[in-house]
Structure 1
Amino acid sequence: MDQRPAGGERDVKVIGAGFGRTGTRSLKAALEQLGYGPCYHMSTVIAEPFRVRQWLDVGEGRSRDWDEVFRGFQAALDWPAAAYWRELAEHYPDAKIILTVRDPKRWWDSVSATIFRSALAERQRLPLRRRIIRWLVARRSPDFALYPRMARTTVMDRLFDGRIDDRDHAIDVFQRHIAQVKATIAADRLLVFESEQGWEPLCAFLGVPVPEEPFPQVNERAAFDRKRPGRLWRLIVRGR
């Protein structure tokens, strides 16, 4: 059964170069409201586990078929896509690049309490209850069971050399990443964006009207806390 989005091939029109925990959930909702949907995000990978193997192939050097990975999507944000912003910018030369940013210390506080905390837990010997859950998930969804390995190869090792418990190193990587994107992407192709700026700079950059509705502000930490336990439970109970 083909689980990929209907609608055939679409060129990606917007590429998000910003790290996870920089307002990517809010930008996803905004882009979809503006007609740039569906928008690819790490939440897409979690919701559709067959995509985990696609990214594992990318991370381990077996395949980089971007048109297949993003088939049916008009935008791609968040990790793991943002870890490959150079390759995607080159592969989709007409796509516009949005670099979501935030205060580096606030970014560290958020990412260390969510994504990095979860990744670090994978390195420890899990308690019996967690090992049982992991075994059940692997039986129900072998693809999703590969998620920690995929995240490690495409993000944690690729960007941070595995040093996700080193605050100063992570912040340095974050700041150097922002400088590299700004230095690489032509100014007329790049928007450096904070979600608090709202619709005006985003719509001006994309050349679309400003909606009457307020700019979406999604609580990313709350979304993170909800999505993984809920996803694990659905995998165990329903097998999908």
Structure 2
Amino acid sequence: MKVILAGFSKTGTKTMCEVFSILGYNNYDALENGYYLHDEWVKVITKGGTPEDFRQMYKGVDSVTDMPCYFFWEQLHEAFPDAKIILTLRDEDSWYPSFVKQWNELNRSYVTWFINAFSPTLWKIRAFRYHTYKLVSDVARYPCNQKTPFGETLLRKMYREHNTYVMQKAPKDKLLVYKVSEGWEPLCKFLGEEIPDQPFPHKNKGASLVNQWTKQSEIMKRFIYEAVAVSGMVTALGVAAVYKLYAAGHLENGWNLISQHVSMVTNYFFPA
């Protein structure tokens, strides 16, 4: 591993994910951690993990960003002592509302509802999602149309303490305290990379993460494909069951029920 991003969510983590991709790094962000390493992370969070566990988990991975890695930056660095550490910072008064907006977008998005309900892969990684959300929540919840499950005082305190701890404990010769507004120059100098011949990216602007993932992430696209297939099967089975009852003379208004069932599913997941 080359670099560990220790910055809290909504300090430019998705921008840094794109930056590492531009630099040619094989990066694991939140989706990759959940998709490929869900069982391993449940073990780490609930039972503990050794340096060898982390070395096996991230074999061939160049960089990590966002949850749950920034909570375990110290353990990751123990496993990869040559890796550099970047702490992305953001003004607290702009960070807090951005974090809350992001959390609420994830919880209230129709796409999130849809894939949570019908993607078998997301069902499979429920334990990972539970424990990951628990890391930043005083009340563990799944992203199912819930408001932010913690108060402003607690969240701001968590943010400050995380940043302070990283700055105190990270080896000074391996640490870059960085704001994404600084652009390519200090980052590339720290990483020993040439400055790319393209503008510095800015991802997840305005907490648009779901739309970004839907357009760009192959993992998110797979969740959606699964959900579409499963929801289609559920709808077909429901229609078939109602029609069978109608044909047997048990439902005088069978066709109306079929229409209502299809409309309910369509309007719920794809509102006008």
Aligned-residue offset at 1:86: 1.2
Letter in 2 for 1:178: N
Letter in 1 for 2:227: I
Aligned-residue offset at 1:117: 6.4
- Report the Cα distance in structure 2 between the residues aligned to 1:179 and 1:165, rounded to whole angstroms: 21
The percent identity for this pair of structures is 27
Note the residue ranges of structure 2 that are not aligned, 5 or more in a row. 141-147, 215-219, 231-272
Alignment of 1:91 with 2:86, yes or no, is no
User: 1:56·1:149 contact (CA, 8 Å) conserved in 2?
Assistant: no
Aligned-residue offset at 1:230: 5.6
Cα-Cα RMSD = 2.7
Alignment of 1:60 with 2:43, yes or no, is no
Pick from 184, 189, 205 the counterpart of residue 204 of structure 1.
Answer: 189
| Greater relative contact order structure (CA < 8 Å, 6+ sep) | 1
User: 1:156·1:164 contact (CA, 8 Å) conserved in 2?
Assistant: no
**Aligned residue for 2:228?**
237
**Aligned residue for 1:176?**
161
Aligned-residue offset at 1:115: 2.7
Pick from 54, 78, 82 the counterpart of residue 66 of structure 2.
Answer: 78
Alignment of 1:105-144 (within 5 A): 105-115=93-103, 118=106, 134-137=116-119, 139=120, 141-144=122-125
Normalised TM-score (structure 2) = 0.68
- SS of the residue 2:208 aligns to: helix
Aligned-residue offset at 1:219: 2.3
- SS of the residue 1:93 aligns to: coil
**Aligned residue for 1:30?**
19
Letter in 2 for 1:237: V
Aligned-residue offset at 1:143: 2.1
- Report the Cα distance in structure 2 between the residues aligned to 1:92 and 1:161, rounded to whole angstroms: 32
Note the residue ranges of structure 1 that are not aligned, 5 or more in a row. 1-11, 122-129
Letter in 2 for 1:215: F
**Aligned residue for 1:185?**
170
With over 3 angstroms needed to count, the CA separation of the structure-2 counterparts of 1:200 and 1:140, relative to structure 1, is: closer
Aligned-residue offset at 1:238: 5.2
**Aligned residue for 1:5?**
none
With over 3 angstroms needed to count, the CA separation of the structure-2 counterparts of 1:66 and 1:117, relative to structure 1, is: same
Alignment of 1:39 with 2:27, yes or no, is yes
Letter in 2 for 1:151: T
Letter in 2 for 1:223: L
Aligned-residue offset at 1:136: 3.0
State the structure with more CA Rg.
2
Aligned-residue offset at 1:226: 4.8
Aligned-residue offset at 1:95: 0.5
User: 1:141·1:235 contact (CA, 8 Å) conserved in 2?
Assistant: no
| Cα deviation digits, residues 57-109 of structure 1 (max 9, x gap) | 21111655112221221111111011101111222111100001111122111
User: 2:117·2:227 contact (CA, 8 Å) conserved in 1?
Assistant: no
With over 3 angstroms needed to count, the CA separation of the structure-2 counterparts of 1:32 and 1:136, relative to structure 1, is: closer
Normalised TM-score (structure 1) = 0.76
- Report the Cα distance in structure 1 between the residues aligned to 2:116 and 2:122, rounded to whole angstroms: 10
| Cα deviation digits, residues 149-169 of structure 1 (max 9, x gap) | 13234x225xx6869421111
**Aligned residue for 1:148?**
129
